[in-house]
Amino acid sequence: MPNLKIGRRKAMILASAALFVIAAVGGGAFLLLSGGQEIQYKTQSALRKALPVTAAAELHKHGVRLGAPLRCADLPGWTKKRMRVACTGMTADRKPVQVIGTGEQEKRRNYYTILVDGRPVVENASCLGADCVKKDD
C-alpha cells in the first residue's frame, strides 16, 4: 500500500474545500425545498405604496389603460403577518377596476388579483408588473 502523507497545509485546504461544497449543496437544497420564495413587500405600508404602480403596469401589459391612478387603502383585519390592501379606479373607457394585494409573512408569499368590470384579468398572481422580472437576469 502506498504511504499517503498529507501535509498540514494540504489538509486545511481540503477541509476548507469540503466545507464549501457542503455549504453550497446545503444552500441549494434549502432553496430547492423552500421554493426560493421571498416576500416582495414585507410591510403593509410598502405593499400599499407599491400596489398602484405595479398593478397599473400589469394592466398596461394586458392592454388595459387606466383613466387615473389607482387609489389604495388598507383592508380591515390586516396584521403584520397578514397584509391586505385594496385599490380601486376606472379604466380609460370607464370600467371599474379592483385590485387586491396580500402578503403572508409565514408563507413568504404575495398574491394579487385584478378585476376589470368584475372580470378577472389577473388571479392569485405571485407578482405584478416589473416585480415579475427576475433579479438575476
In angstroms, how far is CA 68 from the centroid of its own chain?
A: 26
Give the pLDDT confidence score for residue 37 in this predicted structure.
59
Q: Domain spans of the chain?
A: 1-36, 44-132
∠ CA(62), CA(63), CA(67), 5° rounding?
115
Strands (E), 6-131: 71-74, 82-90, 96-104, 109-116, 119-125
Residue numbers of the chain with a pLDDT score lower than 70: 1-4, 10-37, 134-137
Give the pLDDT confidence score for residue 116 in this predicted structure.
97
Strands (E), 3-116: 71-74, 82-90, 96-104, 109-116
Please tell me whether residue 1 adopts helix, strand or coil conformation: coil
Q: Would you say 81 and 104 are in contact if contact means Cβ atoms under 8 Å apart?
A: yes
